[in-house]
Amino acid sequence: MLIGSDDNQSATGGNAALIKDADTASFTADVIEASKEALILVDFWASWCGPCKQLGPILEKVVKSYSGRVRLVKVDTDANQALAQQLRIQSLPTVYAFKDGRPLDGFMGALPESQLREFVDRLVGETGGVSVADVLADAEAALEGGDLQGAAEIYAAVLQQDQQNPEALAGLARCYLKSGDTDRAEQTIGLVPPNARQNAAVQSVIAALALARKAVDAKPTSELETKLAANPKDHAIRYDLAVALAANGDKSGALDHLIEIVRAERAWNDEAARKQLVEFFDAWGPKDPMTIDGRKKLAAVLFS
């Protein structure tokens, strides 16, 4: 299940996750390589360690408050003894901070939240921090890479600092949409303030939600294909088939049918086919290969 701004944000898997578990095998990727993108705190802990249980929740709370500029990696020393010995972990809990592939500083014991924030603030200041735009770019990359949980965590962290950030709200809504949770996507995009509704990312989600609603009412593609084969000039059937194909993930097929309607009779039903193409492009986003291809095909038909 994807997280919201108030849900548990721990996660495993995906380089963009704010909080994750690591082991000896993944340490290089999760810490050394990841520290080239953000400040990484590594929490060395064990299940029998009382102070570890005190520090863990505080660490997670503090990390979440930095809008993706800081990430937390948790290492169970009992399960990764060789790694703990290699890094000379002698007391638990121990926290190391990594940036640009190297350790910057660290501490042992369970610090109170105020001291922990001072520790992180100093390191963030020394490393120059990361802009919100950079954080959102990381989230976008995670989302495009299929790491819905990691992307959702970063968007939620941004929203903890700016509850009305339209790009973060749109991004989180897209995460819900991709996971099939249309209701939560609707709720999330509904939080965008009226003066930011024209934001491109917001408009893309609104278009995607409209497409999802149409998909619910779409007839089976096999039934529509049979009807179209019997009457290839029926634009209404071809239009319905295009929407149904798009709902099933066949973007190419959907594009071809709508382009065919535009080519045959552009003005049909108040240019419904062209308008639906534009809605598809908005829903899929400008970087989608089918959007790029579809725009070229539409332009070729309109200006031929």
Which domains can be identified in the chain, with CATH numbers?
A: 19-131 (3.40.30.10), 133-199 (1.25.40.10), 218-302 (1.25.40.10)
Q: What is the mean predicted confidence (pLDDT) over 126-138?
A: 69
Give the best-scoring range by mean pLDDT among 156-165, 260-269, 281-290. Answer: 260-269
What is the per-residue pLDDT for 126? 63
Contacts of 234 (CB under 8 A, 6+ apart): 227, 228
| 262-281 pLDDT per residue, tens | 999 999 999 999 999 999 99
Distance CA 76, CA 193 (A): 43
> What is the average pLDDT value for the chain, to the nearest integer?
87
What is the per-residue pLDDT for 129? 53
> How sure is the predictor about 295, in pLDDT bands with cuts at 50, 70 and 90?
very high
| 201-251 pLDDT per residue, tens | 999 999 889 888 887 777 889 999 999 999 999 999 999 999 999 988 899
Peptide bond into 103 cis (omega under 30): no
Please determine, for residue 302, whether its predicted confidence score (pLDDT) is greater than 70.
yes
Cα dihedral value 120, 124, 126, 132, nearest 10: -170
Q: What is the mean predicted confidence (pLDDT) over 186-206?
A: 91
pTM: 0.58
Distance CA 171, CA 166 (A): 8
Percentage of residues of the chain with pLDDT beyond 70: 93
What is the per-residue pLDDT for 15? 41
Q: Which residue reads 């930095």 in tokens?
A: 66
Q: What amino acid positions are annotated as catalytic residues?
A: 49, 52
Residue 5 DSSP label: T
